Amino acid sequence: MKFPDLSMSNPIRLRDLIRQIRSAKTAAEERAVVQKECAYIRDSFRDEDNTWRCRNVAKLLYVSLLGYPAHFGQLECLKLIASTRFTDKRIGYLGAMLLLDERQDIHVLITNSLKNDLNHSNQYIAGLALCALGSICSPEMSRDLGGEVEKLMKSSNPYLKKKAVLCAVRIIRKVPEQFDVFQNSIRSLLSEKNHGVLLTATALIIEMCKQNSQALQIFRKLVPNLVRILKNLIMSGYSPEHDVSGISDPFLQVHLLRLMRILGRNDIEASETMNDILAQVSTNTENSKNVGNAILYETVLTIMDIKSESGLRVLAVNILGRFLLNNDKNIRYVALNTLLRVVHADHNAVQRHRATIVECLKDADVSIKRRAMELCFALINSNNIRTMITEMLTFLGTCEPEFKADCTSNMFLAMERFSPSKRWHVDQMIKVLTTAGNSVRDDIVSSLIGIISSAPDLHGYTAYQLFKIIRNDITQQPLVQVALWTLGEFGDLFVSEQYQHTDDQENIQVSEEEIVNILEKILNWSISTVITREYAINALMKLSTRFPSCSDQIQSVMTVYACNMNLELQTRAVEYTALFTKHNPIRSSIVQRMPVLVSTQTSNTNNEETTYEQEDSSSTNGISSVTQNEPVEDLFKILDEPSHTNGSNNLNSHNNIFDLLNSDDQQINTSSTPLEDILFDDNLPKSQSNNNFTSSIPSMNVIDKNGLCVTFQFEKQDQLLLIHLQATNSTQTPIKNFTFKAAVPKTFTLELLPPTSTTIPSNNTGDIRQIIKISNPNKEKLRMRIKINYSYNDSQMNDEAELNSFPQQCYN
């Protein structure tokens, strides 16, 4: 006789297990409880015990929520699903949704049970099956069961219908070809009264349109139906079942608006049909609570995306403006986000809200601040540049470190574009560098040096200002680097008072020794980075000729550094020491003042590359990792907008410059220096003759390096600008395989005629000539990037430059 196994009592109930786990005092205790129970459960699964399977699986689901492994329960879920009891199925399907996913092979096994349950007479069982299918189906299951789902979509029971429709959404996501199976049922779904069915049908249409442009054509015909449904929703009286704070079924309203957006995009007819209802929703929706604002938000997104009339767009921007004043920070966030998307298209409308946007810079939320910052930069123009830069400087002083790099880069770009005067520009940039400390990007230093160099009348002034700052503080590397370069080049100007003082300057007498001492201090300071010290050593060298009295001091510094551990510093110091001794006669000509730099024409092409090509995401923390365009990138898109805001802005011109560089369509612009701008009179007559190259527009030296000299001469012919390129070679060896490439912003058109040859003979005995035709219908400022390749002495050479300062006559 077999005695009943008294130790094998009923398994503990779910709540008792939960209570036990929660009363565990330590993690170890909890683990012990869980492991003991799991062991028991595993045993009972092995014993194929039907009675308590349901309870055991439920317990397993609980511990899996706590993070413990529960995969051994997967098969049990399948058995529960196959059971006839509703209780079992309910837990079984839940378990399947939580423990199985399409990666497991095991989950295909539920396909058969699903098929049976989908056809069950009890709607709740069919509902469970549909729910599981909609949550975890794989492509194979989708193909197997698609037909069943479609059948249920036609059921008269709205409970099953809506679930089947959402299943269909998932199925076509997994297997887009199934689209054909479902598309015929759509139209009838939209004529249902049941909100659940309408809502899910809208979701299905949205998914279909996302996948398939053919669907767009088909469903555009439904726009009047959608308008009608939406209209009924907002006009109908109070319906308690679907009401949320006085608004009738906001979920459905938002879905309809979203579908309308997809259908109205790029289609004028559909957009026109929607105009009225959009206006109605915008004006009638109650905006005191979040739910109303959610609808208004969706409406604004729709208006902005379709081909709506301008009055409606202004209405939308005004709604966003009102959002900005809302106390609810979520609404402010959403408004800023949306404004950022529309600022290019509706620039003037957004400008009206500039003051509010600037206020948002002071918000406590980091994401709001970031968006406000991006928006501010998008709104800067020549009218508001001064006030905006002041605001941004204040912001820069108080913002989080992750913003500083982007902020400074953007400020730099904005000032480059719009600054009213060079002096203001230089002043502001110095302030920026002082405020931003070490978070400034490297290319800003070289760009600023370019700017300083290009303003000769400000050389002394700038040197003086920078000297005053570094006299007190040498911790900020970018600022110090700029200061070092400037003092090295122009330090002698303000010492000997060869520049204009303005009235508010105190005339401090600065001696040459003082300057040299500061430079030496920076050089010797351990906190200075290697780059800074390289700048310092160069600057000192330059000053050795400008300040002859300090020449000995400088020479001894060089001798000391000739033994420095850092290779670069040592190399330079050794070379410079040689300049003092063996090559003393040529020292003054070597370190002579540099000619004015033409824009950012440096040989360090890598630096430029990082400025203009895809900016890698600034390394912000995980929380505020921005998925939107970098502000710098956005600003580049703006840079190519014409100054009169017409609608046909191409936002990708800067990136396209590089596309063009890689193709064979090459054109070259020339630019003259600002000095020549000042010197030449605008009223000179323009010559029209083709052979006469002495036009009124000054010619320009583009490249003068390693013996290769390229010049551009301009000629205006009606609306076209002709550039005559001439390349000569003063070396002993001919230059072969010479090719020019160039790219301009998209609003220009370029035509490059074939060159006369690809070889430049040596010793200036011949040249290459090439003609470039540029048309500039928008009369924008010319900019161009050029690239040359050639072989010289059997080695491949190449060079690149960015040309920004073309003579005004080129494009006026």
* Residues 234-293 contacting other proteins, CB under 8 A: 241-242, 244, 249-252, 254, 258, 290-291, 293
In the list 37, 117, 298, 715, the residue contacting other proteins (rule: CB under 8 A) is 298
Tokens of 746: 């998209």
Site for other proteins in 566-625 (CB under 8 A): 622-625
3-class state of residue 25 by DSSP: coil
Distance CA 495, CA 504 (A): 18
Question: What is the nearest approach in angstroms of other proteins to the Cβ of residue 81?
Answer: 15
Q: Does 169 bind other proteins (CB under 8 A)?
A: yes
Question: What is the nearest approach in angstroms of other proteins to the Cβ of residue 104?
Answer: 10
Please state, in angstroms and as integers, the Cα–Cα distance from residue 228 to each residue in 195, 286, 308, 684, following that order. 14, 20, 19, 66
* 238: exposed, middle or buried (Cβ count in 10 Å: 0-12, 13-18, 19+): exposed
The alpha carbon torsion through 159, 162, 163, 164 (nearest 10 deg) reads 110
Residue 713 bridge partners (DSSP): 724
Of the pair 61, 651, the CB lying nearest other proteins is at 61
3-class state of residue 723 by DSSP: strand
Of the pair 127, 698, the CB lying nearest other proteins is at 127
Question: What is the nearest approach in angstroms of other proteins to the Cβ of residue 206?
Answer: 9
Report which secondary-structure segment, H or E, holds 700. Answer: strand 700-705
Q: Does 170 bind other proteins (CB under 8 A)?
A: yes
In the list 34, 37, 41, 62, the residue contacting other proteins (rule: CB under 8 A) is 62
- Those residues with Cβ within 8 angstroms of residue 812's Cβ, 6 or more apart along the chain or in another chain: 682, 779
CA-nearest of 350, 370, 348, 349 to 361 is 370
Question: What is the nearest approach in angstroms of other proteins to the Cβ of residue 393?
Answer: 24
Site for other proteins in 624-643 (CB under 8 A): 624-627
Half-sphere exposure of 337 (CA within 13 A, CB side): 16
Q: Does 297 bind other proteins (CB under 8 A)?
A: yes
Q: Does 94 bind other proteins (CB under 8 A)?
A: yes
Q: What are phi and psi of 664, to 5 degrees?
A: -95, 0
**Number of residues in contact with other proteins under rule CB under 8 A:** 74
Question: What is the nearest approach in angstroms of other proteins to the Cβ of residue 246?
Answer: 13
In the list 2, 46, 103, 582, the residue contacting other proteins (rule: CB under 8 A) is 103
Q: Does 367 bind other proteins (CB under 8 A)?
A: yes
Site for other proteins in 330-359 (CB under 8 A): 330-334
In the list 8, 32, 39, 66, the residue contacting other proteins (rule: CB under 8 A) is 66
Of the pair 92, 698, the CB lying nearest other proteins is at 92
Amino acid (one-letter) located at 573: A
Q: Does 127 bind other proteins (CB under 8 A)?
A: yes
In the list 8, 32, 39, 65, the residue contacting other proteins (rule: CB under 8 A) is 65
The binding track of 202-221 with respect to other proteins, each residue x by CB under 8 A or -, is: -x------------------
Stretch that binds other proteins, among 120-128, 436-444, 481-489, 555-563 (CB under 8 A): 120-128
Residue 749 bridge partners (DSSP): 775
In the list 145, 186, 195, 273, the residue contacting other proteins (rule: CB under 8 A) is 195
Amino acid (one-letter) located at 285: T
3-class state of residue 738 by DSSP: strand
Looking up tokens 């900019």, which residue turns up?
783
Q: Does 86 bind other proteins (CB under 8 A)?
A: yes
Distance CA 742, CA 699 (A): 18
CA-nearest of 187, 192, 180, 173 to 147 is 180
Of the pair 438, 624, the CB lying nearest other proteins is at 624
Q: Does 745 bind other proteins (CB under 8 A)?
A: no
Q: Does 200 bind other proteins (CB under 8 A)?
A: yes
In the list 368, 380, 448, 657, the residue contacting other proteins (rule: CB under 8 A) is 368
In the list 96, 294, 448, 801, the residue contacting other proteins (rule: CB under 8 A) is 294
Q: Does 92 bind other proteins (CB under 8 A)?
A: no
Of the pair 250, 460, the CB lying nearest other proteins is at 250
Distance CA 661, CA 739 (A): 12
Question: What is the nearest approach in angstroms of other proteins to the Cβ of residue 166?
Answer: 4
CA-nearest of 83, 85, 76, 151 to 118 is 151
Question: What is the nearest approach in angstroms of other proteins to the Cβ of residue 17?
Answer: 10
Of the pair 323, 714, the CB lying nearest other proteins is at 323
Quote the crossing angle between the two packed helices 442-453 and 401-418, to the nearest 10°: 30
The DSSP code for 754 is: P
Stretch that binds other proteins, among 198-206, 220-228, 433-441, 575-583 (CB under 8 A): 198-206
Site for other proteins in 303-332 (CB under 8 A): 329-332
Q: Does 176 bind other proteins (CB under 8 A)?
A: no
Count other C-beta atoms under 10 Å from residue 670's C-beta.
30
Task: Report the helix count and the strand count for the chain, using DSSP H and E.
Answer: 37, 10
Site for other proteins in 2-21 (CB under 8 A): 15, 18
Q: Does 126 bind other proteins (CB under 8 A)?
A: no
Question: What is the nearest approach in angstroms of other proteins to the Cβ of residue 127?
Answer: 7
Residue 799 bridge partners (DSSP): 788
Count other C-beta atoms under 10 Å from residue 567's C-beta.
9
Count other C-beta atoms under 10 Å from residue 483's C-beta.
31
Please state, in angstroms and as integers, the Cα–Cα distance from residue 199 to each residue in 176, 218, 466, following that order. 21, 19, 65
Report which secondary-structure segment, H or E, holds 196. Answer: helix 195-211
Question: What is the nearest approach in angstroms of other proteins to the Cβ of residue 67?
Answer: 7
Of the pair 86, 224, the CB lying nearest other proteins is at 86
Stretch that binds other proteins, among 128-136, 457-465, 537-545, 793-801 (CB under 8 A): 128-136
